[in-house]
């Protein structure tokens, strides 16, 4: 089961993530912030206030918005800049 182990804000709508399989990279969520639950996250001050959920094993926000670890992983490997931070 894919789980997010670490997450840190980088800039804009980008987060550096590390998964339980050891892979690390950057996820740009700019194009993923659509729909009512994600609308508040377009405010960068709100976006920055994510946390790592010990239950869901992914990032989440106070308004119950979250992204599945599998979605974040797919976004990470599709990002050209993520390869600079990836392990193997």
Q: How far apart are CA 74 and CA 68, in angstroms?
A: 10
Q: What is the pTM assigned to this prediction? A: 0.87
Question: What is the model's pLDDT at position 79?
Answer: 75
Does the domain at residues 4-85 carry the CATH identifier 3.40.800.10?
no
Residue that has been written with the tokens 């590390």 in this structure: 18
What residue ranges do the domains of the chain occupy? 4-85
Q: How far apart are CA 78 and CA 82, in angstroms?
A: 8
Mean pLDDT, residues 33-56 taken together: 97
Question: What is the model's pLDDT at position 86?
Answer: 46
Tell which residue, 50, 56, 82, 66, has the closest CA to residue 4.
Answer: 56
Residue predicted with more confidence, 5 or 79: 5
pLDDT at residue 85 greater than cutoff 60: no
């Amino acid at each position: 089961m894919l789980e997010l182990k670490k997450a840190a804000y980088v800039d804009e709508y980008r987060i550096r993530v590390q998964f339980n399989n050891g892979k690390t990279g950057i996820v740009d969520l700019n194009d993923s912030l659509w729909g009512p639950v994600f609308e508040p996250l377009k405010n960068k001050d709100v976006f920055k206030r994510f946390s790592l959920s010990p239950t869901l094993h992914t990032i989440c926000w106070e308004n119950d918005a979250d992204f599945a670890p599998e979605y974040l992983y797919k976004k990470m490997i599709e990002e050209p800049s993520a390869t600079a931070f990836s392990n193997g």
